[in-house]
Structure 1
Amino acid sequence: MKKRYTLALLLPLLASKAHAFSQETHKRIVIDAVNYMAQHPTTTQFSKLQAYATQNGLTLDQLAEVLGQAAYDVDDFEDTFLCGAVTGNCVQAPLWGAAESIVKYTSYWHFQNHTQGADAHGNDFGGYNYDKLTVWGSVDTMAATWLKGDHLDDGKGGQSGWFGADGSKYNSYGITEAHYRIDGTSSYSMYKDFEKIPFQPIDNLGQYWYQNYLASGQPQILGFVFHTTDLLQPHHTWTTSDLNHSSWESWVKDYYDQELLNDQALVTEAMSYYAPLRATDSDIRPLLTQGGSYSYAQGSIVLNSQDHYDRVQIGRQVIPHAIAMVVQLLNHAMVAR
């Protein structure tokens, strides 16, 4: 049974909660994917990528910057507010979230739980759901304690705190959740108690933004899709906010270059792992789930070990696979419109 914690123990440990891959790492992965295509023009859709940059009035380096920055920016989305069970006050981050390392509630859409099967929405793999975690740590449990009974902001949909208190800031259920509710079903009753909320998985986030890219062709929107490299972060497929989550993120950022985590030879090996999408495919989620399956199968050691060489071993697997996944998505994006 998951343990409950008192408020006195809550604050110092919650301060360790952080993003999956850091925002800087998300950006580097995308830039490295563009660079890989430039170095491998005959085996990728590089010529079309270069033409796409020109069509948008950008150099290739500028396009890589735009795409990478957009992947970075997804962690800063102001689209998910949780509201107090008593006060009805709705916020996008906890009071202890002012520290730079604390993520916003939007990060709960950035998981794909491979330790469970289908979720309540009908997704083949669900997202973050504290009640369904099979691995967890004190950060998970204490967040659920802090947020016990808190609900997802539904605008003026009727959910409130005591005595009708309603401090709605944004209709997160009617907008954000609806966007990520792809080919599935939801009811607001699923989102009334944080500790039981079945957040939509990150592949649905990627699919939503990819659909928007196909309609608009805008580079920034395409870049949002690439935040799905969180699927190559083992904590996001084993699904926990704890178990060395923060220290692993920092380690990847710090040793990304020193340990050659982006070695192009390893990216070439990783390219063959993915079954390429056909130009006529409009659903990219099968490819994204391949990435999630890889990190789940290969990366569990970083949940339990902080040994440098254990991390090198996993980093030189999951980062090249993340870069390769972005290359595969870019290849498809260049021929799908």
Structure 2
Amino acid sequence: MKHLFKLAPVAFAMLACMPAKAWNTETHRRIVLDAVEFMKAHPNQTRYASLVAGVTRAGYTMEQFAAAIGQGAHDVDYFEDTYLCGATTGNCQGAPLWGLGSGLARYTSFWHFQNHTAGADVHGNDFGGYHYAKLGNPGDIDRLAATWLVGDYLDDGAGGLGGWFGDTSKYNSFGVTEARYRQGGYSTASMYQDYEKMPFQPIDNLAQHFWSRFLQAPSAQSLGFVLHATDLLQPHHTFNVLGHNHSGWESWIEDYYDTEKLNDGALVLAALNDFTPLAATATDIRPLLTQGGTYSYKYGGAVMSSTDHALRRGVAKKMVPHAIAMVVRVLDRAAVRLGQ
């Protein structure tokens, strides 16, 4: 199992030139690190001993393992795997010029939603991903994106969809990224022909793709990528909106994570009861992840209409402990795989 920390070949580069928004990237890392610390402090409620055994057998320390999966959860925001192309020019870009500070730094962020406002999608998912056409109450960033990207299409490779004056495919996001996140569902390139109608795949499919990789060949990197699914405990990501205080709320979480004790172990312990443990043989983790999305949709919506500190604190003390608890449930199952 020496390959556990070997960086798996990834067909897309990762950039750090602009801040991406979901949970803020540092918050993603902290949630994962706190989940490992919680397991260490609660060995009777978790499979921490099995996790330690698997990691130790691979020749690494738990500190190295925690750092590696935390970094993986952080890195998903920096994938350069999604290009949208101009309806007129055919020129394909991975991020909008106005992305810096907007809450949407690069287009890969569109795969980080699970839309509980609309339910099933055209791909066959119980809950779809970001879909501008199904926004009941678009925010400022949603409207800005739609204005900027109207008629633009998802890069589907040379010879596919094109602009009026050509096709400058850079990646084939439909044939690679969308295909990875399709997870057995149905898609056609024409579904992604106009930005304002694009039914993006949900984040639980992203996580399932990397979970399957982990089961096939365990690596800390692929497991870390799975754990980016804590975005499901960020209410904007289940209400299907880019705007409505999206960026401000996430910055607030990062700023007050420690002072407000959002990782309180007692709250995490209670939150575990809201997640059904994965079976030791489970290969599909999406039902567990959907439990997280359902929770944030039910209890987190207030932060989209208010910036009041006390209100944010109340919601945060529900969302962050549940995000940590969800990671614990995934790591419990991962511990079984590492022991095989």
Q: TM-score, normalised by structure 1?
A: 0.92
CA contact (8 A) 2:20 2:109 kept: no
Residues 20-42 of structure 1: CA deviation (Å, up to 9, x unaligned): 21000000000000000111112
CA contact (8 A) 2:20 2:106 kept: no
Deviation at 1:312, TM superposition (A): 0.5
Is 1:97 matched up with 2:99?
A: yes
Match of 2:282, as an amino acid?
D
Match of 2:223, as an amino acid?
L
Residue 276 of structure 1 corresponds to: 277
Q: Structure 1 residue aligned with 2:141, among 139, 142, 145?
A: 139
36-45 vs 123-132, which moves further: 36-45
Match of 2:129, as an amino acid?
G
Residues 133-173 of structure 1: CA deviation (Å, up to 9, x unaligned): 1232121011011000111001114211113x111110100
* Aligned pairs (5 A) from 1:218-233: 218-233=219-234
Deviation at 1:101, TM superposition (A): 6.0
Residue 44 of structure 1 corresponds to: 46
Match of 1:145, as an amino acid?
T
184-193 vs 94-103, which moves further: 94-103
SS across alignment from 1:235: helix
* Aligned pairs (5 A) from 1:205-220: 205-220=206-221
Calculate the aligned-residue CA RMSD, in Å.
Answer: 1.4
Question: Aligned partners of 1:36, 1:144: CA distance in 2, in Å?
Answer: 42
SS across alignment from 2:99: helix
Question: Aligned partners of 2:131, 2:102: CA distance in 1, in Å?
Answer: 24
Deviation at 1:55, TM superposition (A): 3.1
Deviation at 1:56, TM superposition (A): 3.4
* Aligned pairs (5 A) from 1:310-329: 310-329=311-330
Residue 132 of structure 2 corresponds to: 130
CA contact (8 A) 2:51 2:336 kept: no
Match of 2:289, as an amino acid?
L
* Aligned pairs (5 A) from 1:105-184: 105-163=107-165, 165-184=166-185
Is 1:185 matched up with 2:165?
A: no
Question: Aligned partners of 1:299, 1:101: CA distance in 2, in Å?
Answer: 18
Aligned-residue identity in percent: 58
Match of 1:168, as an amino acid?
S
Question: Aligned partners of 2:137, 2:236: CA distance in 1, in Å?
Answer: 10
Closer/same/farther in 2, CA of residues 102 and 142 from structure 1, 3 Å limit? closer
CA contact (8 A) 1:130 1:196 kept: yes
Deviation at 1:61, TM superposition (A): 1.2
Q: How many residues align?
A: 320
Residue 286 of structure 2 corresponds to: 285
Is 1:69 matched up with 2:71?
A: yes
Residue 11 of structure 1 corresponds to: none
Gap regions ≥5 residues in structure 1: 1-16
Q: TM-score, normalised by structure 2?
A: 0.92
Deviation at 1:51, TM superposition (A): 1.8
96-105 vs 66-75, which moves further: 96-105
CA contact (8 A) 2:84 2:153 kept: yes
Question: Aligned partners of 1:62, 1:157: CA distance in 2, in Å?
Answer: 45
* Aligned pairs (5 A) from 1:239-250: 239-250=240-251
Question: Aligned partners of 2:190, 2:102: CA distance in 1, in Å?
Answer: 32
Match of 2:27, as an amino acid?
T
Residues 45-104 of structure 1: CA deviation (Å, up to 9, x unaligned): 111211222233321111111000000000000100000111111110012235696421
Question: Aligned partners of 2:99, 2:111: CA distance in 1, in Å?
Answer: 17
CA contact (8 A) 1:18 1:246 kept: no
Match of 1:55, as an amino acid?
R
